[in-house]
Amino acid sequence: MAAGTKGDGPAIGIDLGTTYSCVAVWRPVHQRVEVIANDQGNLTTPSCVAFTDTWRLIGDAAMNPVNTVFDAKRLIGRRFSEESVQEDMKLWPFKVISGTSDRPMIAVKYRGEERQFTAEEISSMVLVKMRETAEAYLGTTVKDAVITVPVYFNDSQRQATLDAGLIAGLNVTRIINEPSAAAIAYGLDNTSVSGDAIAKTVLIFDFGGGTLDISVINIDKGTFAVKATSGDTHLGGEDLNNRMVEHFVQEFLKKHKSDIGGNPRALIRLRTACERAKRMLSSTAQAKFEIDSLHDGIDYYGSITRALFDELNMDIFRKCIEHVEKCLGDVKMNKSQIDDVVLVGGSTKIPKVQQMLQDFFDGKKLCKRINPDEAVAYGAAVQAAILNGEYNQQEKDFLPLDVTPLSLGIEAEIDRFMSVVIPRNTTIPVKKEGVYTTIHDNQTSILIQVYEGEAAFTKDNRLLGKFTLNGIHLAPSRVPRINVTFESEANGILKVLAEDRTTGNKNSVTITSDQGGLSAEEIERMVRDANTYKSEDNKRMMK
């Protein structure tokens, strides 16, 4: 499913984060971006949904109830059987089960019965909250939105994010990468976007709640060209929280000879305390917390020093630096060639992260001018305004150019090696073609299997999807010429077309099927369900 076209009214930018989300809008009259506060007065909203016997709570109100779902971004577009999903499930207090096509389904108790939701549905509820936050502030209906995703989100995860937007009643005009959005925020706050300013090469270090994204971006006269990317869609502040939770679960077991691992309520209370302690450690050397009757009637008093926190997470911090090295290596740049290291995401507030980055860049002062919690939504709002025609004429020269984070290609039938059509770090949108042939005499069909990855053999890469081209003309092996065209849109969504040059027979696919993506009928049902849930919420609010 492609992104939508421009609609009427204002367009918003949404940073749909793993732990927190943020919404912003470009104000043409004032010629500036405004980050919009929610109904609690906060500029960021927890990306969580709670289900009770009578209510469905989203955002700040959903932080404490037991039946709370979070981390939907770590499930979206994934298979239930994936190792990362299985590992996360061990620490989540909510239940995840396998649905059709190996799709992870979140099972919750709501209004006295068990209901199952996809990650797209949970994410759509957060998006509805963002949309309603914007509508309350702007005093008008909002339909158009740009939504951001991590650089290394694959095609299925991007498609699933588009689906979540559709379920939320949004016309998603573009999916853009989070570091690119942050670069826009940096660029508009920096004189390098003006015509007579010198070009700058910046490294965006985006370490958020669930993901790590690193991009080297050249900014010159309003053009934002991504040169290389690196990152991990499963490395963020939540992993730091998990380490703390595991530490205190073991400490509780050692002290009290009682295991809280099977107590969902205790785990969510402990996780909340760990999150607060982590934030405190960014400004103090030690954090303490107290939880009344945590488990088996036992009051728990926890304490953690910054040094212990750093020790628990040192391997994660080292991984971050390794990704910085990889990104610079891909673009064949020395670290001295980076003009600014821009910090984005809440996890960049951690002193050890800042220290290790500064040490890596030989003492270079890190750029903290832009708000790390709001920068991605800020840049998304600017992109939304450009696509919606709300930006003024002079600034329409502004152009963000993203890249493909991984190589894209097909499997060669003879030896199963990866035949790359679009190399990684290719600027998108892009359209490239490869020419292939048959391996058997009078072969009339060919299976096109599409992969992403850097390994030489497809077994070590990720299968994105497959389709068959039939009706190939009868000929000896290696005679037919099959054109395979890859087209990667600005959203990062991939379309593949195969054509027999002799007969003109064609077949194509938009890569969605491998992950068991939502069908049009499923999306329609989820839209209806979303409207029903909203109606039920409104009725209860009026009582």
Same domain, 268 and 328: no
Same domain, 410 and 497: yes
- DSSP bridge pairs for 116: 107
φ and ψ of 540, to 5 deg = -70, -30
Is 388 contained in some domain? no
- H-helix or E-strand containing 342? strand 340-344
Distance of CA 148 to CAs 13, 164, 182, 541, Å? Answer: 8, 12, 10, 31
Q: Quick one: residue 260, left, alpha or beta (phi over 0 = left, psi -120 to 50 = alpha)?
A: alpha
Residue 244: domain span: 237-311
3-class secondary structure, 281: coil
Q: How far apart are the first and last CA of the chain?
A: 40
Could you give the CA distance from residue 191 to residue 195 in angstroms, rounded to a whole number?
A: 9
3-class secondary structure, 518: coil
3-class secondary structure, 436: strand
Same domain, 254 and 297: yes
Same domain, 257 and 279: yes
pLDDT at 3: 56
- DSSP bridge pairs for 228: 216
Same domain, 425 and 503: yes
- H-helix or E-strand containing 244? helix 237-256
Is 217 contained in some domain? yes
- For the chain, the C-alpha Rg in angstroms (whole number) is 24
Could you give the CA distance from residue 393 to residue 397 in angstroms, rounded to a whole number?
A: 8
The CATH number for 304's domain is: 3.90.640.10
The CATH number for 496's domain is: 2.60.34.10
Is 302 contained in some domain? yes
Q: Strands of 36-154 (E only): list them.
A: 45-46, 49-51, 56-58, 68-69, 95-98, 104-110, 113-117, 144-149
Order of strands, sheet of 223-232, starting from the edge strand that comes earlier in the sequence: 340-344, 200-207, 212-220, 223-232, 399-403, 427-428
Q: Among candidates 381, 426, 403, which has minimal Cα distance to 148?
A: 381
Could you give the CA distance from residue 248 to residue 34 in angstroms, rounded to a whole number?
A: 40
Same domain, 214 and 288: no
Same domain, 293 and 421: no
Could you give the CA distance from residue 70 to residue 457 in angstroms, rounded to a whole number?
A: 36
pLDDT at 393: 47
Query: Do residues 7 and 14 touch, judged by C-beta distance below 8 A?
Result: no
Could you give the CA distance from residue 243 to residue 312 in angstroms, rounded to a whole number?
A: 6
3-class secondary structure, 375: helix
Query: Do residues 464 and 450 touch, judged by C-beta distance below 8 A?
Result: yes
pLDDT at 394: 54
Is 436 contained in some domain? yes
The string of DSSP letters for 453-500 reads SS-SBGGGSEEEEEEEEE-PPP--TT-S-EEEEEEE-TTS-EEEEEEE
Q: What is the four-CA torsion angle of 93, 99, 102, 108, rounded to 10 degrees?
A: -10
- Per the structure block, which two tokens stand in for 288? 């303490």
The CATH number for 334's domain is: 3.30.420.40
Query: Do residues 343 and 372 touch, judged by C-beta distance below 8 A?
Result: yes
- H-helix or E-strand containing 88? helix 83-89
Ordered per-residue pLDDT tens for the chain, 543 residues = 445 555 568 999 999 999 999 999 999 888 899 999 999 999 999 999 999 887 888 998 887 666 889 999 999 999 999 999 999 998 888 999 999 989 999 999 888 889 999 999 999 999 999 999 999 999 999 999 999 999 988 888 898 999 999 999 999 999 999 999 999 998 877 654 444 456 899 999 999 999 999 999 998 877 888 999 999 989 999 999 999 999 999 999 999 999 998 888 899 899 999 999 999 999 999 999 999 999 999 999 999 999 999 999 999 999 999 999 999 999 999 999 999 999 999 999 999 999 999 999 999 999 998 999 999 999 999 999 999 888 764 554 566 778 888 899 999 877 789 999 999 889 888 999 999 999 999 999 999 999 988 888 998 888 888 899 999 999 999 999 999 999 988 777 789 999 999 999 888 877 753 444 677 788 888 888 888 877 777 776 666
Residue listed under structure tokens 């911090």: 317
- Per the structure block, which two tokens stand in for 31? 């010629």
Q: Among candidates 461, 505, 463, 460, which has minimal Cα distance to 482?
A: 505
Could you give the CA distance from residue 514 to residue 522 in angstroms, rounded to a whole number?
A: 17
Same domain, 199 and 325: yes
- Per the structure block, which two tokens stand in for 223? 């053009």
Q: Among candidates 116, 111, 69, 115, which has minimal Cα distance to 92?
A: 69
Is 501 contained in some domain? yes
Q: Quick one: residue 319, left, alpha or beta (phi over 0 = left, psi -120 to 50 = alpha)?
A: alpha
Same domain, 198 and 307: no
Count the domains in the chain.
3
Known catalytic residues? 15, 73, 178, 206
pLDDT at 123: 98
Contacts of 43 (CB under 8 A, 6+ apart): 22, 35, 36, 37, 373, 374
Count the Cβ atoms, other than its own, within 10 Å of residue 122.
25
Could you give the CA distance from residue 100 to residue 261 in angstroms, rounded to a whole number?
A: 29
Cis omega (within 30 of 0) for bond into 10: no
| β-bridge pairing 49-51 and 68-69 | antiparallel
Same domain, 498 and 462: yes
pLDDT at 36: 98
Is 258 contained in some domain? yes
| Residue type at 499 in one-letter notation | E
Is 174 contained in some domain? no
Same domain, 285 and 433: no
Same domain, 447 and 490: yes
Is 33 contained in some domain? no
Which letter, b or e, does each residue of 500-538 get, where b requires 16 or more Cβ atoms within 10 Å of its Cβ? beeeebebebbbbebbbbbeeebbeebeeebeebeeeee
